[in-house]
Amino acid sequence: MIPQFLTGSPGLVDDGNRYWVDTDAPGFEQEMAAFYEDFMQVEEDPGLVSFGSSSFGGVSREMVSDAVAEVIASINTTGGLAGVYICANGDWGPDLSSAADIISFDAYFYFANFILYKDQLVSFLNRDGILAWGIVPTGDPLVVAKESVTSLFTKWQKQLALLTTFGFSEKQLMSQTLIAPSCGTGSLTRELAQKVLVMTAELAQ
């Protein structure tokens, strides 16, 4: 991050080696609402990746739904858009049925799994929910290296066409679309991480 562009940014932390934003800082949402006219906060929901596994045997669907709802309500109360994100496969039912404004998902690897939740997905889109398509891969360096803007655009177009069979026009879906990386880039080299960001920006145009 470049500090001169972030002066006064809510949650900004300078630890001497780098600048980063502490979204868990007290009053972060309120400061964001005051600092920006509009803001979006996306919460990662790792519990849904492991939901149903033996290691999460004591976690019920209701517990997951209640936790997600509490975070979303907190963000919405301060005027922000609330998003939920899973970087792997999981039970998308609770999040699609929640009050989330944005659902961010790994469209590169898990699109076929995601659209299995057809009824919840249709309801989400009918209430003007926004899909953040994680169409730009990040997990496997070899996959990142081989992909291009052209190949990813072709892949996304096929997914978009499939989603139109759920009763939506391409125009409507595109108006409710964000383009995103499928997950974080921390495990990639600087060069590949930069490639991910460049491809994401070019695809979004």
Q: What confidence tens digit (pLDDT) does each residue in 101-117 have?
A: 999 999 999 999 999 99
Q: Which range among 6-15, 45-54, 122-131 shows the weakest confidence by mean pLDDT? A: 45-54
Residue 90 predicted with pLDDT over 90: no
pLDDT of residue 35: 58
Higher pLDDT, 65 or 73: 73
The CATH 3.20.20.210 portion of the chain extends over: 41-204
Helix, strand or coil for residue 96? helix
The yes-or-no verdict on residue 84 having pLDDT over 80 is: yes
- Among the ranges given (36-40, 103-107, 120-124), the one the predictor scored with the smallest mean pLDDT: 36-40
Is residue 182 within 8 A of residue 134, CB to CB? The reply is: yes
What whole-number distance in Å separates Cα of residue 181 and Cα of residue 57?
A: 31
For position 170, what pLDDT does the model report? Answer: 95
Tell me the three state secondary structure of residue 142: helix
Element (H, E) at 41: strand 40-44
> Pseudo-torsion of CA 133, 134, 135, 138, nearest 10°?
170
Question: Phi and psi for 140 in degrees, rounded to 5?
Answer: -110, 115
| Token pair in block for residue 23 | 């979204």
pLDDT score, position 28: 74
Q: Are 109 and 182 in contact (CB under 8 A)?
A: yes
Q: What is the pTM of this model?
A: 0.74
* Domain 41-204 classification at class level: alpha beta
Q: What is the largest CA-CA distance in the chain?
A: 52
Look at 64 and 150; give whichever has higher pLDDT: 150
For residues 39 and 33, the answer to whether their CB atoms sit within 8 Å is: yes
pLDDT of 167 > 90? The answer is yes
Q: How confident is the model at residue 53 (pLDDT cuts 50, 70, 90)?
A: low
